[in-house]
Amino acid sequence: MTKHEAAQLLQVSARAINRYVSSGKLSVTYSKNSQGSMVGVYNEDEVLTLKENQARYLQPKEKAKPARKNEHPKAGVTALTRRESDKGVMALLVRLAEATEAQVKSRPLVPVEAQLTLTLSDASHLSKLSKDYLLAAVRTGKLKAAKRGRGWNIKRSDLDDWVKKLP
Please give the angle made by the CA atoms of 162, 163 and 165, to the nearest 5 degrees: 65
CA distances from 8 to 43, 44, 123 (A): 14, 12, 67
104 falls within a domain: no
Contact 58, 51 (CB under 8 A): no
pLDDT in tens, 131-145: 999 999 999 999 999
State residue 33's pLDDT score. 83
pTM: 0.37
Domain hosting residue 132, numbered range: 112-165
Contacts (Cβ under 8 Å, ≥6 apart) of 88: 80
pLDDT in tens, 49-93: 888 888 776 666 555 555 555 555 555 555 555 666 677 778 888
69 falls within a domain: no
Number of domains in the chain: 2
Q: Of 26, 22, 33, whose CA–CA distance to 7 is shortest?
A: 26
* Range of lowest pLDDT (9-13, 53-57, 117-121): 53-57
Pick the last residue of a domain from 58, 85, 101.
Answer: 58
CATH code, domain carrying 126: 3.90.105
Query: Which residues in 92-111 are b (16+ Cβ under 10 Å) and which e?
Result: eeeeeeeeeeeeeeeeeeee
Whole-angstrom distance, CA of residue 160 vs CA of residue 167: 14
